[in-house]
């Protein structure tokens, strides 16, 4: 197949009947779009995570179930022929209710994935029917038949070769005949158990699927017309970026710009699939193209914010001029499968942040057993309520760069500064309560005032 487009729609894009209808219009307007990847309707995954974490009170569980039913029924009620979809969605709601009861006795990561996957499974039943009613030759496909992962529930690792094989066998032939609607975020392990790729994972699913069917384009439709210089909810004067390189956009995603799941661009980059980010509400506003080669590489490109950071500081006089200390620390961290994100060292201390959390949410924790083993080597201090601010740009090694950045931040308490490892970013931790003010001040000085 020649030009073949994959379009992904996020939660707000499929939040209600009108929003879903706008998605269908976008698909109808581009005959090259053969594959549609959908998130759960807005708010649904949060409710499912709450149930999966274990709600003891039966009445509260019922209340959440009612909210879930209301969100879906409000869309189903507006369909011309709701009978079949209503049955499908209600049967899922019944299975959610029993799984939620099981989770109230004992929750587990496996059960969580089984439960939270229902959001995408339900939204795709509805979107498929809605598109059919608008005259699109649509078929729903359960992506768990193709999106093979390991069994690391909550943050499963996709098995790229297996996915490519299964997609060529089962998915690509369907796309020749239909516009296929499928689920983001979810997959299945070798045993057929449902897995998830972590919160916000539908972007990543869409990129993996685009790669597996050798798509020529990937569109991410969301609630903002493209990638902005920072989150426009934090700095209202943030400006859209018409074109950005894969490296810059990857840094942004990695450092927490919620607009893209951190791993999204890995498959797209592997196959050099251009990615477009736009608003399903205002498609006429255009959006951002992410490509290998771009015309402009400004010194300051964007600011990203990632909250819920956990910083661990390890201190020991034994570290002074000794070798092997860090090796021992990392051996313990590896033993407990703790992935480290950022690290800085001094002569007698090491500070590190723990990597992102999984589908069940919250700040990453240092497991008690790991803490006890580390305490045999050194003192261990764990801090929460921190946010990571990242400044993304180009040629950040340039003289005067750091001075320009830090001189604007004199009033803030900066922690753990990482600079120099990449010439595309500079990042540091700040207290959560100051984080938005830090972004606003940096945006004002480095973006708004600079380009006046
Ligand atoms: P979806 O449900 O479509 O995946 P998300 O809520 O995950 O949407 O991501 C879109 C949101 O990302 C925007 O509403 C915006 O608040 C936030 N965001 C964070 N950083 C940026 C940025 N640099 N540019 C645009 N939006 C951003
Ligand atoms: N529905 C999932 C979430 O809310 C995945 C996604 O929307 O990307 O995290
Ligand atoms: Mg998202």
For position 337, what pLDDT does the model report? 85
Strands (E), 316-371: 340-345, 349-354
Task: Give the number of whichever ligand sits closest to the CA of residue 259.
Answer: 1
For position 320, what pLDDT does the model report? 64
User: Measured between alpha carbons, how far is residue 308 from residues 48, 122, 361, 437 in Å?
Assistant: 20, 29, 10, 16
Task: For residue 23, give every residue at least 6 positions away whose Cβ sits within 8 Å of its Cβ, in sequence order, or none.
Answer: 7, 9, 13, 14, 36, 38, 127, 221, 280
Q: Per-residue pLDDT averaged across 99-106, rounded? A: 97
Q: What atom in ligand 2 is closest to the CA of residue 200?
A: 8
For position 1, what pLDDT does the model report? 52
3-state secondary structure at position 240: strand
Strands (E), 20-172: 33-38, 138-141
DSSP, residue by residue, 426-437: EEEEEEHHHHHH
**Residue 200 near ligand 2, beta carbon < 6 Å:** yes
**Residue 204 near ligand 2, beta carbon < 6 Å:** no
Mean pLDDT of the chain: 93
Instruction: Report whether pLDDT(153) > 80.
Output: yes
**Residue 302 near ligand 1, beta carbon < 6 Å:** yes
**Domains of the chain: residue spans and CATH:** 5-223 (3.40.1160.10), 301-448 (3.30.2130.10)
**Among 185, 178, 103, 104, residue whose Cα is nearest residue 144:** 185
For residue 154, say whether it is annotated as part of any ligand binding site. no
**Residue 262 near ligand 2, beta carbon < 6 Å:** no
Instruction: Report whether pLDDT(209) > 70.
Output: yes
CB 342 within 8 A of CB 354: no
Number of other CB atoms surrounding residue 292 within 10 Å: 11
For position 363, what pLDDT does the model report? 79
Task: For residue 133, give every residue at least 6 positions away whose Cβ sits within 8 Å of its Cβ, in sequence order, or none.
Answer: 79, 80, 81
Determine if the pTM surpasses 0.85: yes
Strands (E), 160-238: 179-183, 186-188, 194-196, 217-222
Q: How remote is the CA of residue 77 from the centroid of ligand 3, in Å?
A: 27
- Phi, psi values for residue 344, rounded to 5°: -135, 150
Dig out the tokens for 108 from the structure: 């587990």
Q: How remote is the CA of residue 228 from the centroid of ligand 1, in Å?
A: 9
Kindly report, residue by residue over 352-372, the tens digit of the pLDDT: 999 776 777 777 889 999 999
For position 451, what pLDDT does the model report? 58
Instruction: Report whether pLDDT(156) > 90.
Output: yes
pLDDT band at 300, cuts 50/70/90?
Answer: very high
Q: Which of 366-370, 377-381, 418-422 has the lowest mean pLDDT?
A: 418-422
Q: What atom in ligand 2 is closest to the CA of residue 120?
A: 1
**Among 52, 82, 81, 47, residue whose Cα is nearest residue 67:** 47
SS3 content of the chain, % helix, strand, coil (to 5): 40, 25, 35
Kindly report, residue by residue over 173-190, the tens digit of the pLDDT: 999 999 999 999 999 999
Mutate to test the pocket of ligand 1, among 258, 260, 361 (most ligand atoms within 8 A of CB): 258
Q: What atom in ligand 2 is closest to the CA of residue 201?
A: 8
Task: For residue 271, give every residue at least 6 positions away whose Cβ sits within 8 Å of its Cβ, in sequence order, or none.
Answer: 210, 211, 214
**Residue 200 near ligand 1, beta carbon < 6 Å:** yes
**Among 52, 57, 218, 205, residue whose Cα is nearest residue 124:** 205
Q: Give the burial class of 137: count Cβ atoms within 10 A of its Cβ; 0-12 exposed, 13-18 middle, 19 or more buried.
A: exposed
Dig out the tokens for 397 from the structure: 């090694």
Number of other CB atoms surrounding residue 318 within 10 Å: 12
Q: How remote is the CA of residue 343 from the centroid of ligand 1, in Å?
A: 27
Residue located nearest, by CA, to atom 12 of ligand 1: 259
Instruction: Report whether pLDDT(401) > 80.
Output: no
Kindly report, residue by residue over 324-339, the tens digit of the pLDDT: 888 899 999 999 988 8
């Amino acid at each position: 197949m020649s030009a073949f487009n994959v379009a992904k729609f996020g939660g707000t894009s499929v939040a209600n009947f009108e929003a879903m209808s706008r998605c269908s219009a976008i698909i109808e307007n581009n005959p090259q779009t053969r594959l549609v990847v959908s998130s759960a309707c807005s708010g649904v995954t949060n409710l499912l995570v709450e149930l999966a974490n274990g709600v003891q009170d039966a009445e509260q569980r019922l209340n959440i179930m009612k909210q879930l039913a209301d969100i879906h029924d409000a869309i189903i009620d507006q369909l011309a022929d709701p009978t079949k979809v209503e049955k499908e969605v209600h049967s899922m709601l019944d299975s959610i209710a029993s799984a939620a009861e099981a989770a109230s006795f004992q929750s587990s990561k496996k059960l969580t994935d089984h439960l939270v996957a229902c959001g995408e499974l339900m939204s795709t039943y509805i979107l498929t029917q809605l598109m059919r009613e608008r005259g699109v030759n649509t078929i729903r496909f359960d992506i768990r038949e193709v999106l093979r992962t390991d069994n690391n529930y909550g943050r499963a690792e996709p098995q790229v070769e297996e996915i490519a094989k299964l997609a060529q066998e089962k998915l690509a032939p369907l796309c020749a005949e239909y516009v296929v609607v499928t689920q983001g975020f979810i997959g299945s392990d070798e045993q057929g158990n449902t897995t998830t790729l972590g919160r916000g994972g539908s972007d990543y699913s869409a990129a993996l699927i685009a790669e597996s069917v050798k798509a020529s384009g990937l569109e991410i439709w969301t609630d903002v017309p493209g990638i902005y210089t920072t989150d426009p909810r934090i700095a209202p004067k943030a400006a859209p970026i018409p074109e950005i390189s894969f490296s810059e956009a990857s840094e942004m995603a990695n450092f927490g710009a919620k607009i893209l799941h951190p791993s999204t661009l890995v498959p797209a980059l592997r196959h050099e699939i251009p990615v477009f980010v736009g608003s399903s509400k205002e498609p006429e506003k255009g959006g951002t193209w992410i490509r290998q080669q771009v015309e402009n590489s400004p010194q300051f490109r964007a600011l990203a914010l990632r909250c819920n950071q956990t910083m661990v500081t390890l201190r020991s006089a034994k570290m002074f001029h000794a070798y092997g200390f860090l090796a021992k620390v990392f051996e313990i961290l590896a033993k407990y499968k703790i992935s480290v994100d950022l690290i800085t060292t001094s002569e007698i201390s090491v500070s590190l942040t723990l990597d992102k959390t999984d589908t069940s949410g919250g700040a990453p924790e240092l497991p008690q057993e790991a803490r006890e083993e580390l305490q045999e080597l050194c003192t261990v201090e764990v801090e929460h309520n921190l946010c990571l601010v990242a400044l993304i740009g180009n040629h950040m090694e340039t003289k005067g760069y750091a001075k320009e950045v830090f001189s604007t931040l004199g009033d803030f308490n900066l922690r753990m500064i990482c600079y120099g490892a990449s010439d595309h970013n500079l990042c540091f931790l700040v207290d959560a309560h100051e984080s938005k003010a830090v972004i606003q001040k940096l945006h004002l000085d480095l973006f708004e005032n600079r380009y006046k």
